Amino acid sequence: MSVLTASFGTLGRQVLGTLAAIGRVTGFALRVLGHMLRPPYYPRELLTQLLAIGWYSLPVVGLTALFTGGALALQIYAGGARFNAEAVVPSIVAIGMARELGPVLGGLMVAGRVAAAIAAELGTMKVTEQIDALTTLSTNPMKFLAAPRVLAATLTVPLLVAVGDAIGIMGGWLVSTSRLGFNSAVYLQNTADFLQVWDVGSGLVKGAVFGFLVALMGCYHGMNSGRGAQGVGRATTNAVVSASVLILASNYLLTEAFFSA
Amino acid sequence: MIELAGLHKSFGPKAVLRGVDLSVPKGTSTVIIGGSGTGKSVLLKCILGLVEPDAGTITVDGRPARQGDRDAFLTKFGMLFQGGALFDSMPVWQNVAFRLLRGTLKMPRAAAREVALDKLRRVGLGPEVADLYPAELSGGMQKRVSLARAIAAEPQIIFFDEPTTGLDPIMSGVINRLIREIVTEMGATALTITHDMSSVRAIADRVAMLHAGKIRWEGPVGDMDGATDPYLTQFISGSADGPIETLR
Ligand SMILES: Nc1ncnc2c1ncn2[C@@H]1O[C@H](COP(=O)(O)OP(=O)(O)O)[C@@H](O)[C@H]1O
Ligand SMILES: [Mg+2]
């Protein structure tokens, strides 16, 4: 009996703890959004972050997409061969990249790069009292640090996804024409014929949501970092893990919302 | 005029401030002394609202610190953090001119840079450091840059958390004189934390000693040497023997 109540107690505490964490993160997100909308704005910071988050993530996202597009072509060719349906390779590569793999893999790569970098930077700033110093210099850290990062990621990750889609499709084309005997012009024609605007558009919307979540997790964990190097390390790990899980979970929900009949 | 009454602050089970009462008169220089870890830095952070006290009141110029326009409140203050707390993503001059480049005190970039160079000169740093990044400076230089940042916007109230720790004796003398000048010439109110007794004598109008979470002794600097409080005399003489525990 007492074992039962004890385990219910533990479960209850965990549920409450999780709910409290969700509440804190939601509150943080709303405050960031509020600061994004209300002046003063910090255009210089935004520009720096657009470069740091968007531009410097291009190689990582591009390479990921290239190899994924190539592997996808091989798999679909092998799978399609079982039904004599090898001709679906171009369309499925394109749809798969645009709807799922482009945004999800791009988002995860950005989570690894950007959420970690933001959490480590802001965590270090917290630990070395730079965030306190900002406050005493009449500058709101949420507005100066969090808002530009979250806005920059929300704006640039869709662009990264678009580039990733194109490179992924190109990877599929490269493998299909060089290894699987597809005719280049026919492949490209097929891709263009089957790919619809919403295939790409839905992926871009996902990219915006993922970008928002990645930067939000980086900022939240960084600004709430514990003391010392250990605190910063933990904040960085938590930022990457929570951003990755949130990307995969929200991806499912968005797919359900966009495409379930 | 800053008045603290019954200020309490604990971190978990650890009671750091246990009823601090202190008043800092306008236009004077008050120095807080006390062993390391007694909560001197926490005390300054409570006044600035960076740390939320558990109990007690803080008034600045007769108004409660937590009410009214926070921006206007903070504009009155300059703070030198114990660790410097320079922004390492910005070159030195932008750190010093931070307040002058944005917000209510914003001025043209060229003018802000001029002010920064002037303040750097006052803390004994030449224009060649202006475009370096904080990480390229020694600890003592960072401290002085941070001091320049604290005074850049000529605030009415300035907090210095261990301004001379890590500096050589000559540079300490320069900084002590600077703090004194800021009070006598600019009429600012200064609240300084230091362990350095020669600094205390150079800077202070009044001295307050924090011990065991309370103000143990307070008075004009001239009365310090004649005081009979055993805690104060032990601290001033730097003796290992006395009522202050060496294990803390
Ligand atoms: N944010 C914090 N969380 C937990 N403990 C803290 C925090 N800030 C300060 N402390 C503790 O409060 C005590 C006083 O710290 P501090 O004010 O920095 O001492 P000092 O008098 O040397 O400036 C120390 O024991 C320190 O560990
Ligand atoms: Mg201290």
Q: Which domain holds residue B200?
A: 27-42+69-208+217-237
- In chain B, residues with a C-beta closer than 8 Å to the C-beta of A136 are 48, 50, 74, 77-79
- In chain B, residues with a C-beta closer than 8 Å to the C-beta of A42 are 102
Q: Do B85 and A128 touch (CB under 8 A)?
A: yes
Does a structural domain hold residue A2? no
- Supply the pLDDT for residue A1: 57
Return the CATH number at B74.
3.40.50.300
User: What is the total count of domains within chain A?
Assistant: 1
Q: Note the pLDDT tens digit of each residue in B31-90.
A: 999 998 999 999 999 999 999 999 999 999 888 888 888 888 999 999 999 999 999 999
Does a structural domain hold residue B124? yes
Does a structural domain hold residue A37? no
For the segment A232-257, the average pLDDT, to the nearest whole number, is 97
Does a structural domain hold residue B62? no
DSSP A146: I
Nearest residue CA, atom 19 of ligand 1? B37
Q: Which domain holds residue A255?
A: 42-259
CA distances from A179 to A15, A133, A182, A184 (A): 52, 59, 8, 12
* Measured distance CA(B30)–CA(B193) in Å, rounded: 9
Give the tokens for residue B52.
């939320």
Please indicate, yes or no, whether the overall pTM of this predicted structure exceeds 0.80.
yes
**Ligand 1, pocket residues at CB < 6 Å:** B 11, 16, 36-42
- Of all residues in chain B, the one with the smallest CA distance to A42 is B102
Q: Which residue among B79, B86, B89 sits closest to A136, beta carbon to beta carbon?
A: B79
Q: Give yes or no for a contact between A88 and A188, defined as CB atoms under 8 angstroms apart.
A: no
Helix (H) or strand (E) holding B33: strand B29-33
Q: Note the pLDDT tens digit of each residue in A40-86.
A: 899 999 999 999 999 999 999 999 999 999 999 999 999 999 988 88
Q: At CB < 8 Å, which residues of chain A contact B?
A: 40, 42, 121, 125, 128-130, 132-139
Q: Which of B9, B14, B16 to mutate to test the pocket of ligand 1 (most atoms within 8 A of CB)?
A: B16
Rounded to the nearest integer, the mean pLDDT of chain A is 94
pLDDT band at A197 (very low <50, low <70, confident <90, very high): very high
Q: Which residue among B77, B83, B86 sits closest to A136, beta carbon to beta carbon?
A: B77
| Closest of B38, B4, B37, B30 to residue B19, by C-alpha | B4
**Percent of chain B, pLDDT > 90?**
78
B57 dihedral zone (left: phi>0; alpha: psi -120 to 50; beta): beta
For the segment A83-106, the average pLDDT, to the nearest whole number, is 93
- In chain A, residues with a C-beta closer than 8 Å to the C-beta of B99 are 137-138
For the segment A7-19, the average pLDDT, to the nearest whole number, is 88
Does a structural domain hold residue B233? yes
- Supply the pLDDT for residue B166: 84
Nearest residue CA, atom 14 of ligand 1? B39
| Closest of A41, A131, A20 to residue B85, by C-alpha | A131
Rounded to the nearest integer, the mean pLDDT of chain B is 93
**Percent of chain A, pLDDT > 90?**
88
The whole-angstrom distance between B108's CA and the closest CA on chain A is 15
- Of all residues in chain B, the one with the smallest CA distance to A126 is B85
- Supply the pLDDT for residue B248: 61
Does a structural domain hold residue B223? yes
| Nearest atom (ligand 1) to Cα of B162 | 23
Residue A111 has pLDDT above 60, yes or no: yes
- B97 CA from centroid of ligand 1 (Å): 29
Q: Note the pLDDT tens digit of each residue in B210-243.
A: 999 999 999 999 999 988 999 999 999 888 888 8
Does a structural domain hold residue B14? no
Does a structural domain hold residue B242? no
- Supply the pLDDT for residue B244: 85
User: What is the total count of domains within chain B?
Assistant: 1
* Nearest-ligand number for the alpha carbon of B161: 2
Helix (H) or strand (E) holding A235: helix A228-259
Does a structural domain hold residue B59? no
- Supply the pLDDT for residue B46: 96
- Of all residues in chain A, the one with the smallest CA distance to B71 is A138
For the segment B172-201, the average pLDDT, to the nearest whole number, is 92
Does a structural domain hold residue A60? yes
Q: Note the pLDDT tens digit of each residue in B192-216.
A: 999 889 999 999 999 999 999 999 9
Q: Note the pLDDT tens digit of each residue in B82-136.
A: 999 999 999 999 999 999 998 888 999 999 999 999 999 999 999 999 999 999 9
Q: Going by DSSP bridges, is the β-strand pair B29-33/B55-60 parallel, antiparallel, or unpaired?
A: unpaired
- Of all residues in chain A, the one with the smallest CA distance to B80 is A133
Label each residue of A78-91 as H, E or C.
Answer: HHHHCCCCHHHHHH
For the segment B166-195, the average pLDDT, to the nearest whole number, is 91
* Measured distance CA(A224)–CA(A234) in Å, rounded: 11
Q: Note the pLDDT tens digit of each residue in B132-170.
A: 999 999 988 999 999 999 999 999 999 999 999 888 999
Does a structural domain hold residue A22? no
Does a structural domain hold residue B117? yes
Does a structural domain hold residue A107? yes
- B48 CA from centroid of ligand 2 (Å): 15
The whole-angstrom distance between B243's CA and the closest CA on chain A is 32
Q: Do B102 and A135 touch (CB under 8 A)?
A: no
Does a structural domain hold residue A30? no
